[in-house]
Chains A and B, each alone.
Chain A
Amino acid sequence: MNRLPITKTPKCYVGGAFIRSESGRVAPLLDAKGQFFANIPQCTKKDLRNAVEAAAKAGPGWAKRTAYNRGQIIYRLAEMIEARSDEMAQAIMLGGAKSAAAEREVAAAVDRLVHYAGWTDKYESLLGSVNSVASPHFNFTVTEPMGIVGILAPQSAPLLGLVSLFAPAITSGNTVVALASTAQPYPSILLGEMLATSDLPGGVVNLLTGQRAELLPTFSTHAHLRALTGVADAVERKALRIGAADSVKRVKLIESETPVDWYEDQHQGLYHLKDLLEFKTTWHPVGA
């Protein structure tokens, strides 16, 4: 007799917990052959606001972790994905990728996390400075995380695109609310499970699935999101920037019109960290 397999109910990873949308809405996800695979939560504006709240709670604690500790946790996340890389490759193949391409994407995502794990305790010495002011002050500039970063993942490269966008944010102590690829949400569902076992405190990375068009306005106007990054088309970019102006949000968007090669080195490194940091300059008196 064949045993009936237990299928997984996809849930979003928000605030360190696995949630369904508060709306109860789901959308069926089909596999590459067009067969029903699972129901994906369709998150709402309310879910997004809840996720921002979770990110806000996690923020100060995460930013205060030592750089060494943040580095180890991000490395641990790489370990968790590597250990389940076959499963992740299968998740990517749901969207139609061949197995070699899917395996390559998983490997690149793991490597990208390892890259950033090594940045946590180094970027400050390259971006910050001691400044030779013409007065008796010890004047220095350090970086600080911006706070909560909203991320709009690309439709393709559902794992590597998402990882490339959130990794620099959390490396420096930001927290993240990300919207996964609407077309290929399943890798983000699986990623949530890996995040949950990575020692990353709950709420640091929050992953939502759902309809992009429905959630974009809230991403742009929510005043507690201090920055927005991701991939968007011309119409979306304009709408996002208009909404972002109200709270003078930092916006850095990649055009979706030109294909993005996420494997390129230009999609990682120091200046992606810099884009999500504020510079703070302190004038400390020198003297008795």
Chain B
Amino acid sequence: MTKKTSKPSRELIFGDLWEFDPAPETADPKLKKRYDLFINGKFVAPKSGRYFDSINPGNETKLVEIAQAGAEDVDTAYRAAKRAFDTVWSPMPGHERGKYLFRIARLLQDRAREFAVAETLDGGKPIKESRDFDVPMAAAHFFYHAGWADKMAYVAPGRTVKPHGVVGQVIPWNFPLLMLAWKIAPALAMGNCVVIKPAETTSITALKFGEILQEAGLPPGVVNIVSGAGETGAAVMNHPIASKVAFTGSTEVGKIIMRSLAGTDQKMTMELGGKAANIIFEDAPLDQAVEGIVNGIFFNQGHVCCAGSRLLVQESVAESVLSKLKRRIAVLRVGDPMDKNTDLGAINSREQLERITKLVASGVKEGAEMHQSACKLPVKGFYFRPTVFSKVSMSHRIAREEIFGPVLSVLTFRTVDEAIEKANNTAYGLSAGVWTDKGSRILKMSAELKAGVVWANTYNKFDPTSPFGGYKESGFGREGGRQGLLDYCKLA
């Protein structure tokens, strides 16, 4: 028998030993100075003549000016969409419609790097994410849905499906181009026309997408892109021509929209907030799980509605997981989003940074133990250190409210039942993660968790074929897969 040493195993601490050279992405994002609204196939100035600045959250410099659409512009967009629906898009055979979507996917792939750089400059996410995830996944969504356009008969067995007409859509700032793809691709595939509003802090790639639509020769009016803030969004959601609206954003705003449309019989889909449990059982491959935890909460700075923001660890391995996690966050690289080595980029806006800071302060005040990486942060720009809270109880605000930032709350459990109870004890129900070596336990947990997506031994995986959407206050309707199409057509 070999003698056990009490010495901890050696570890490599890269961050402190040498500095990484900067590795900036240098591709040209081809930004215009000013972006107009994309209505009826053309870029047009807003009727009010008003523009607002879009800044780079990585260094707080102004990037471009974005047109602010008023109610009149939204109305013009809707009328263009209705005309396109009646005269071109709805009469067009499905296989022809599909070809436009295939083209869009291809053109987006052609200009992928340019879009990735624009996305990172405008939104603050690390270039490796926009390059390897956001943009390719957006193209994949168009490619997948393109193939559905001539297969509508298979969407709802036993029934004939028809498009709704014009669909109004409002999308968030965390995955600007990808959320646009999630919204536009299924809508067009099912024969609808679209009026869409990107988030005010991240409009650039949406409006650049208008250029792609022009290159693809998409008939004018089929897609209209109106930029602006909350008021513009309200105009999009409440327009009488809309025969369906789709919203992705906070639960709070989702409820406001639901109430504002209560007097109509408007069709709605809502993809709202989350407070997902990421559950680590003692038999899980722990090193792999730690990578999954990091990806679950620090992907896109935690600006992810399905982020694994509540870590539930089985008590027997809690200490070991926490120490591995602390070691791991110490070497995460936080900084310039344009640097290819950056793991965590910039927080999307000052407003969001303030919200995160406030919730983190509440965690400290309520008695949770905070662990932060000691990394250097850039002087300019909005940044937040990767943060892990241990000794969190279910009643803490950081365990109940969506923080939408790189902040993880660690809770523990003893039994399977306790894990299920704690995971489900939330008003949300978007996603969950399960880490275990046992296939049967994965299936048991999946059946018991009240969440629309369950990741087993992985986290934050997405695919156009895989339906995504929530239970409870995380919203209703699905995006992706055959099930997602049901929300974009009516049954005849």
Contact = CB atoms under 8 A, between A and B. Distances in A.
Partners in one complex: yes
Nearest to A244: B258
Interface in A64-91: none
Interface in A153-187: none
Interface in A227-252: 234, 237-239, 241-242, 244-248, 250
A278 interface: yes
A281 B452 contact: yes
B137 to A, nearest CB: 10
Nearest to B431: A281
**Chain B: interface secondary structure?**
mixed
Contacts of A212: none
B207 interface: no
B248 to A, nearest CB: 14
Interface in B229-267: 251, 254-255, 258-259, 261-263, 265
Interface residues of A, number: 39
Interface in A207-236: 226, 234
Given A131-B465, A132-B465, A242 B262 contact: yes
B8 interface: no
A269 B158 contact: yes
B313 interface: no
A135 B463 contact: yes
B458 interface: yes
Contacts of A234: 263
Nearest to B462: A133
B486 interface: yes
Interface residues of B, number: 49
A255 B264 CA distance: 11
B311 interface: no
A59 to B, nearest CB: 12
Given A137-B461, A238-B263, A245 B255 contact: yes
B159 A248 contact: no
A261 B447 CA distance: 38
Contact of B159 (A131, A245, A255, A271): A271
Interface of B: 140, 156-159, 251, 254-255, 258-259, 261-263, 265, 270, 272, 427, 439, 442-443, 446-447, 451-458, 461, 463, 465-469, 471-476, 478, 481-483, 486, 491
5 contacts: A126-B157, A238-B263, A245-B258, A248-B473, A280-B451
Q: Which 5 A-B pairs have the closest CB atoms?
A: A241-B262, A245-B258, A133-B463, A131-B465, A238-B263
Interface of A: 126-127, 129, 131-135, 137, 139, 141, 144, 226, 234, 237-239, 241-242, 244-248, 250, 253, 255, 269-271, 274, 278-285
